[in-house]
């Protein structure tokens, strides 16, 4: 029997996102005021700044799609519901560690490539898994799976990894 489960998680705006939005607005206003010195280009600069600011600000609206298909865990990033970008794919058999995320894990796994695909920037209330992939090497992925996603991953995990993370059940 094939297993297919998917989930979409909307990323909340954090301090970094608000800083980017504020900087975008500030730089846009500065460019518009500077363009007033050369009246011939003011209209073009205004249009360019508005379009650029729109795309920069709306690109902070992110969603992550987790899909599990027969043990293949795939995570995609959806930018403002207009563009999809592949983040990572991992075979659940390659997962070496899975559990609740703790911030000190980042220090212990400093040589790993890190992918934050959770609701919050700091990974609170999130899960993580570590795996070794052929394309990206050692990876640490922070994500917010629902119970159905975890249940779809569980049967494909190495036995010892599943036991440490979930116990006997």
Residue 26 inside a domain? The answer is yes
Residue 27 inside a domain? The answer is yes
C-alpha to C-alpha distance for 87 and 66, rounded to whole angstroms: 10
- Check if the beta carbon of residue 122 is closer than 8 Å to that of residue 150: no
Residue 146 inside a domain? The answer is no
Residue 4 inside a domain? The answer is no
Residue 45 inside a domain? The answer is yes
* Residue whose token pair is 């280009």: 41
Dmax (CA) of the chain: 73
Structure tokens at 23: 């900087």
Residue 96 inside a domain? The answer is no
Q: State how beta strands 137-143 and 113-117 pair.
A: parallel
Q: pLDDT tens track of the chain, all 169 residues?
A: 688 999 999 999 999 999 999 999 999 999 999 999 988 888 999 999 999 999 999 999 999 999 999 989 999 999 998 899 999 999 999 999 999 998 888 888 888 899 999 998 888 889 999 999 888 899 999 999 999 999 999 999 999 988 988 887 6
Counting the structural domains of the chain, the total is 1
pTM: 0.84
Residue 42 inside a domain? The answer is yes
């Amino acid at each position: 029997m094939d297993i297919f489960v998917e989930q979409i998680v909307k990323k909340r705006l954090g301090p970094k996102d608000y800083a980017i939005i504020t900087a975008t607005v500030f730089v846009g206003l500065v460019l518009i005021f500077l363009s007033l010195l050369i009246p011939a280009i003011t209209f073009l600069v205004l249009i360019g700044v508005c379009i650029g600011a729109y795309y920069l600000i709306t690109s902070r609206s992110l969603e992550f799609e987790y899909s599990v298909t027969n043990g293949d865990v795939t995570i995609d990033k959806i930018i403002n519901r207009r563009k999809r970008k592949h983040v990572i794919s991992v075979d659940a058999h390659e997962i070496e560690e899975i559990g609740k995320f703790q911030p000190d894990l980042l220090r212990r796994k400093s040589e790993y490539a890190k992918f934050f695909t959770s609701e919050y920037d700091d990974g609170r209330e999130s899960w993580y898994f570590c795996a070794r992939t052929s394309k990206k090497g050692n990876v640490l992925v922070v994500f917010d799976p629902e119970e159905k996603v975890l249940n779809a991953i569980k049967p494909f995990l190495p036995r010892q990894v599943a036991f440490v993370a979930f116990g006997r059940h």
